[in-house]
Chain A
Amino acid sequence: MTGVLVVLDESGKAIGQGLALARELGQRAVGLFVYERGWNVYIGHDWLSGSNARATFLEYVEEHEKAAEAELKARFLAEAQAAGVEAQFEAICCDDLEHLTDAVIREAREGGYGHIVCADPLTRGLSPRRGGTAALLRGAPCPVVLAGQTVAAA
């Protein structure tokens, strides 16, 4: 089990901590961005909006997610380079009924990572609503480091 899986979220708190840990362990860091597909179900609570309003909102979320991916990817790779850590970026998509943290756990298991680093609280999409870091701590196949504040890796 080797490598540090850095869960990327809007706060960016995990990036510095994840890269610092990877450098200390002499391992590679993988920045993980997860696309959620649960929004359609989540706004299923809504009974009466027009389908155009729903569709526009879902398109807006998708655009927002793509922009967040691009921004976090650039930031992660730039900070990794500055810190002298071997780094990769990966974007994955949740299965239809899967929560974000389930996808992170699946990825950590399949990739055989040694550590997961995640911001606390996790602020990505619907994850704050769905257990966030608590769900990750319960199901992770390896140690989880929670990043409560932003630190510089370099």
Chain B
Amino acid sequence: MEDKGIFGKIAAILPGLAFMVGTLWVLRTYVEPWMASAVLFGQKGWLIKVTHLNYILLAIIVGMLYRNVLFGGKIPAWAEEGFRTTRLFIKAGVIMLGSLYTIQSLAKVGGVAILLIMTFVFGTIFFVMFFGRLMGMERSMIGVMGAACGVCGVSAAIATSPAVKAKPSDVALAIATILGFGIMTMFISPFIGKALQMSDYQFGAWVGTGILNSGQVLATCLAFNPTIAPGTAVAYGEIWNVVRVISIPFVVFFITMWYWRAEAEAEHMSLGRILKEKFPVFVIGFFGMTFLSSVGALGAEGSNTLHLMRDVMSWIFGIGLVGQGAYIDIREIKTAGGKPLKVGLAAGCLKYAVALLIVMLFVSKESSF
């Protein structure tokens, strides 16, 4: 492959990046304010009050329209490098989200998060193992779907696949299922949350537990409440998210152990090796920011530094979500099918509904943050 050099790489990124930034700027500067003031069905701001659309959901929708309508199903070569920076934006944003917490606040909410997450992670894995076997699914795919439905979607699926020797074409099916379900829940959850008058704490706890893909938890929380500050849906949802992401290596280890029992020739891996290979290093950055926040290095609540950081975060997430929308190929998701679809939908719907029930019954509206 041709080596473009650092300036060549930056030049290749610029067109797509400028397109994403420009899109978000138009959405935030013109579209969202227009929606807030437009009179529809005799009501001012109907589009926002009734449809709950905000710049976050608009960014995802516009990104999807780019990919599926404007670009005809494939991101064009001139924009591809720029759109690939999506991951970088989202990860940088998540690391910065660590500044919303202090060690004390994490300790207060973390216990509930760990309890709920672990119950649902392993509950879902056991359900997939039972239902997958009932459906006659291959053991390797049961492992992949268990991780994907139990922990956090695509991340867990790709972390588990090599250990259980899953066929890549089957993994592609599993990913399409997870994404399809996640996209559906991403759009309907804010409506359900508003209809049930959930607090930010309840909403964050619910979607952090019930939505399969961790990135979609972030987008859904921001769609429910786009404010980035302590005590908002994204602040709570992200704690759940981080607990899930941290659990990936342990879940991979558990599923690999289960897989070995019946596969004599399967590769044996130690927990240490799995931790080294699968631990998401950016989580250390997240906790680094929490540490800085705890020792007051970022200033007191309301400081200019924190204000600037949150403003930057809202742009970072917005740009990342335009790109993320552009990675959603409706045709690819429509082709999800077979046993992964049946097992994924059953596990996903069950987890989503039971998490809602548990949160409404046992999680108070007020958090201990």
Measured CB to CB, the residues of A under 8 A from B are: 10, 39, 41-54, 56-57, 59-61, 64-65, 96-97, 123-131
> B175, A64: Cβ atoms under 8 Å?
no
> B87, A47: Cβ atoms under 8 Å?
yes
Q: Is the interface of B mostly helix, strand, loop or mixed?
A: helix
Tell me, in angstroms, the Cα distance from A39 to B360 when the chains sit together.
Answer: 40
Per-residue CB contact flags for chain B residues 137-151 toward chain A (1 = under 8 Å, else 0) read 000000000000000
> A125, B74: Cβ atoms under 8 Å?
no
Which single member of A44, A96, A123, A125 contacts B86 (CB below 8 Å)? A44
Which single member of A44, A46, A64 contacts B168 (CB below 8 Å)? A64
> B154, A45: Cβ atoms under 8 Å?
yes
> B169, A50: Cβ atoms under 8 Å?
no
Which residue, of A47, A54, A128, has the highest number of chain B Cβ atoms within 10 A? A47
> A123, B169: Cβ atoms under 8 Å?
yes
Kindly provide the distance from the CB of A67 to the nearest chain B CB, expressed in whole angstroms: 11
| Residue B84, interface by CB 8 Å | yes
- 19 additional A-B pairs beyond A39-B168, A44-B327, beta carbons within 8 Å, are A10-B167, A42-B172, A42-B332, A45-B327, A46-B213, A47-B213, A47-B320, A48-B214, A48-B282, A49-B159, A50-B281, A52-B278, A52-B281, A54-B158, A56-B277, A57-B162, A96-B77, A129-B176, A131-B331
Q: Which residues of B sit under 8 angstroms from A48, Cβ to Cβ?
A: 90-91, 94, 152, 155, 214-215, 241, 245, 280, 282
> B74, A97: Cβ atoms under 8 Å?
yes
Which residue, of B172, B277, B279, has the highest number of chain A Cβ atoms within 10 A? B172
Q: Which residues of A sit under 8 angstroms from B214, Cβ to Cβ?
A: 47-48
Measured CB to CB, the residues of B under 8 A from A are: 74-75, 77, 80, 84, 86-87, 90-91, 94, 152-156, 158-159, 161-162, 167-169, 172-173, 175-176, 179, 213-215, 218, 241, 245, 248, 276-282, 320, 324, 327-328, 331-332, 335
Which single member of A49, A61, A127 contacts B155 (CB below 8 Å)? A49
Kindly provide the distance from the CB of B295 to the nearest chain A CB, expressed in whole angstroms: 26
Q: Which residues of A sit under 8 angstroms from B162, Cβ to Cβ?
A: 56-57, 59-60
Kindly provide the distance from the CB of B318 to the nearest chain A CB, expressed in whole angstroms: 14
Can you name the residue of chain B whose Cβ is closest to the Cβ of A63?
Answer: B162
What are 29 A-B contacts defined by CB distance under 8 Å?
A10-B167, A41-B327, A43-B154, A44-B87, A45-B175, A45-B213, A45-B328, A46-B87, A47-B87, A47-B91, A47-B214, A47-B218, A48-B90, A48-B152, A49-B159, A49-B248, A50-B279, A52-B281, A53-B248, A53-B278, A96-B77, A97-B74, A97-B75, A125-B169, A128-B335, A129-B173, A129-B176, A130-B335, A131-B331
> B328, A128: Cβ atoms under 8 Å?
no
